[in-house]
Structure 1
Amino acid sequence: MPLSNEARAVMAQINKKHGPGSVIVASTMPTLSRFTTGSLSLDVMLGGGWPANQWNEILGAESSGKTTIVHKTIAANQQRDPEFQTFWVAAEHYDIEWASALGVDVDRVAVYSTNAMEDAYTALLNAAESRAFDAVVLDSYPALVADDEAEKEMDQATISAGARVTGRFFRKAGSATRRSLVDVERPLLALIINQWRDQIGGWSPAGMTPKTSPGGRAKNYAYYTRLEASRTEWIDEKRPGGGSLRVGQVIKLKTIKSKSAAPQQVATVRFFFADSATGIQKGDYDTAAEMVTMGILYGLIKLDGTWYKYAGHQWHGEKKMRAAFLEDLDLQEQIAADVLALVQPGAA
């Protein structure tokens, strides 16, 4: 049953006072747009990719792959859109060589280097509100220093200074990323990198030291998605002359919070920081393995004896199938689209 005339009259009054499109019927709202992570497994875990016009956090221990995941996200979206532009707040050093190795076009990344918390947050808000950038990134929160802390001596306490500033930031952040409900506006990807800290004195049912993320609790309510990254194992390859070479790592990711997909989902990516004998280049994911895994999981790739079949193709053995997916980019795009169509029915 549609809204009554009385309800529409109230909507008209609000729109007259606050501007057209302030209140609309929910069924006419645009579908939540998404940005790819650069990994099919991660896109599936997030319900189709990073949600646009929302604030998202990726956190974990040091060297767990957090910044790598963000660089790969930027690179993948740059590849899809030649006009894709990023504003990157570098509270830590921005490594141009590493970003380039991960596929990032650094000519389309504006870097603001500061560890002053208030300045960093102001710059993020200005970049988000400007509609001039497609992505804003903060790398990373633990490297920021609030003014209250910077102005005091080393022996003076500054408890919760950063958390208070962060709380103020997120009270303003919603309006910065808000887009019109009736007009088509440039969507924004907002990513903030954080790290786990031991919660000293906290209690854990497993008897281990519980973890917490710096920045206070206010931010946890503001994030649309929170993604935890961790390294589960190294990827070592044997060499013909003897010995082995470490060429990559397996990164496990879990959604701690997700307001647009099921929470507590887990995905893994095989990331290579050196060239592999299998043909995977430095800075790449094992995309073929992801495609095959997702294709089988969602019933798109059929197993007939020792034969694998998909979309008119067939391969004798999984090794040949993976090799085919590794070499054929059109095949990768086709199965990725088919998988995401199942994850996001009706999405564009």
Structure 2
Amino acid sequence: MTSKSKKRAVATEVDQVVTCDDEASIASFANDDDESFFQDIDVLQSHGINIVDLKKLKSAGICTIKGIMMCTKKRLCNIKGLSEQKVEKIKEACCKLDTGGFLTALQFSDKRKNIFRITTGSQDLDKLLGGGMESMAITEAFGEFRTGKTQLSHTLCVTAQMPSQGFTGGKVIFIDTENTFRPDRLRSIAERFNLDQNAVLDNILYARAYTSEHQYELLDLIAAKCHEECGTFKLVIVDSIMALFRVDFSGRGELSERQQKLAQMLSRLQKISEEYNMVVFVTNQMTSDPGATMSFQADPKKPIGGNILAHASTTRLSLRKGRGENRIAKIYDSPDLPESEATFAISAGGITDSKE
């Protein structure tokens, strides 16, 4: 097989994204027979819910039964045209389809078998993360400039499209808040993995966010897009999560409002990751801590976002510079991964293993 035909064959595999038209095909995406990740709210019509009201829900980015269960009555009532009485009726109908009650640990263990992982491009970094970036969770990478945050984001855009053991590959959504997204960078990474460059770029949805409000509004569009092409999108990247909040909110007087808006955004991201079984990867910036010198801390720098971001992120990855092109990643916080370090390198083909 020639190099060109090999690339075309791989590209065909990359382009094999799934679409679904009816409830039966939607249910086939979930490995668990008892529950589908993509149970459309259209099934509520058989429970007496008006199709006009369902369209109003979809316009707000709420497209699945699980999505409704994740929303408070207050948020649903804020949707134009939905009264408190209608919201009660919708919630009641959803409870009949999804009880949302307790599971045994064994049942939950079976449910977590739906989780997949996306490779970072480096075996050592994958090993540190327990196999790669985990779905149904928020993975945060923070560090100073030039530590590889954006390079890792670009590499994941490509590796998310590559089928691997237990993972079919899929499309990517990229929210850029700092104007650092470069399609040409993706071409060199795609070349490393011998993929068709145009096919790789065609499978990435890009949005440039200019304000923190715009950044939040894009999350509704993400939910709508994931519903429109259910089972197709596997990764959401926000590079970086805090940049616009830093600009839009300044001083201690606006800190409370900033953290409240940030909490809402992170909660929405977490719900999207669980609702559609996706990997959410966010990058974060650092700040100097003026009080650290008084307490004799070894490193006076810390990630911004405070406790809100610290608690919302499932796994926190600390990145720092090494020698030359090498970078060092450390598990800063995780519910199931030990505190450990791994060395990786930044190459023309993206994130790769260190040669040292």
Structure-to-structure mapping, 1:188-227, within 5 angstroms: 188-203=278-293, 205-208=295-298, 210-227=300-317
8 Å Cα contact 2:211/2:248 also seen in 1: no
Q: Which residue of 2 aligns with 1:173?
A: 269
1: CA distance, partners of 2:129 / 2:141: 12
The residue number in structure 1 matching 2:343 is 268
For residues 203 and 145 of structure 2, the distance between their equivalents in structure 1, rounded to whole angstroms, comes to 27
- Residue 109 of structure 1: CA displacement? 0.9
Residue 18 of structure 1: how far off its partner (Å): 5.5
Q: Which residue of 2 aligns with 1:26?
A: 105
Matched residue type, 1:221: H
The alignment-based identity, stated in percent, is: 21
Q: Is the 8 A contact 2:148 2:346 kept in 1?
A: no
CA distance in 2, matches of 1:119, 1:194: 18
Q: What letter corresponds to residue 99 of structure 1 in structure 2? A: L
Conserved 8 A contact 1:38-1:75: no
Q: For residues 284 and 117 of structure 1, what CA distance do their matches in structure 2 show?
A: 29
Aligned to 1:329: none
Counterpart of 1:90 (choices 166, 172, 176) is 176
Aligned to 2:323, the other structure's residue is in SS state strand
Alignment partners' CA distance in 2, 1:45 and 1:165: 32
Relative distance call for 1:215 and 1:115 in structure 2 (3 A) is farther
- 1:245-291 per-residue CA deviation (whole Å, 9 max, x = no partner) reads xxxx00110110112322x2100113224xxxxxxxx546248x59x
Aligned to 1:319: none
Say yes or no: does 1:121 pair with 2:216.
Answer: yes
Counterpart residue type for residue 244 of structure 2: L
- The amino acid that maps onto 2:184 is E
Over the aligned positions, Cα root-mean-square deviation in angstroms equals 3.2
1:314-333 alignment runs, 5 A limit: none
Q: Which of 1 and 2 has higher RCO (CA within 8 Å, sep 6+)? A: 2
Which structure: greater strand fraction? 1
Name stretches of at least 5 consecutive residues in structure 1 with no aligned partner: 1-13, 180-185, 235-248, 274-281, 291-348
Query: Is the Cα contact below 8 Å between 1:37 and 1:69 reproduced in 2?
Result: yes
1:144 aligns with 2:244: yes
CA distance in 1, matches of 2:345, 2:291: 36
Give the structure with the larger helix fraction: 2
Residues 15 and 22 in structure 1, CA contact (< 8 A), matched pair in contact too: no
Range 36-45 or range 139-148, more displaced: 139-148
Query: What stretches of structure 2 of length at least 5 have no aligned partner?
Result: 1-91, 191-196
Q: How far off its partner does 1:231 sit?
A: 1.6
Structure 1 contact 56–225 (Cα < 8 Å) conserved = yes
Partners in 2 of 1:84 and 1:97 — Cα distance? 20
- Cross-structure match for 1:66: 149
Shift of 1:233: 0.8
> Which residue of structure 2 lines up, in the alignment, with residue 41 of structure 1?
124
- TM (norm. structure 1) is 0.61
After superposition, residues 70-81 of structure 1 pair within 5 angstroms as 70-80=153-163
Deviations 1:96-148 (A, max 9, x none): 11232222722111111122112212313541563442111111134314796
Cα distance, 1:192–1:207 mapped onto 2, change above 3 Å: closer
The 5 Å alignment of 1:98-109 reads 98-103=185-190, 105-109=200-204
CA distance in 2, matches of 1:65, 1:48: 19
Q: Is the 8 A contact 1:36 1:43 kept in 2?
A: yes
What is the distance in 1 between the residues matched to 2:235 and 2:267? 20
What is the DSSP-based 3-state SS (H/G/I as helix, E as strand, rest coil) of the residue aligned with 1:260?
coil
What is the TM-score normalised by the length of structure 2? Answer: 0.60
Alignment CA distance shift 1:137-1:256 (3 Å): same
Question: Partners in 2 of 1:122 and 1:253 — Cα distance?
Answer: 32
Cα 1:75–1:171 shift into 2, 3 Å = closer
Describe the shift of the 1:115–1:216 C-alpha distance in structure 2 as closer, same or farther (beyond 3 A).
Answer: farther
2:340 matched to 1:254?
Answer: no
SS in 2 for 1:112: strand
In the TM superposition, residue 225 of structure 1 has moved relative to its aligned partner by 0.4
Give the Cα–Cα distance (whole angstroms) in 1 for the partners of residues 144 and 95 of structure 2: 48
Task: Report Cα offsets for 1:205-261 as digits up to 9, x if no partner.
Answer: 545562222223111111110111112111xxxxxxxxxxxxxx0011011011232
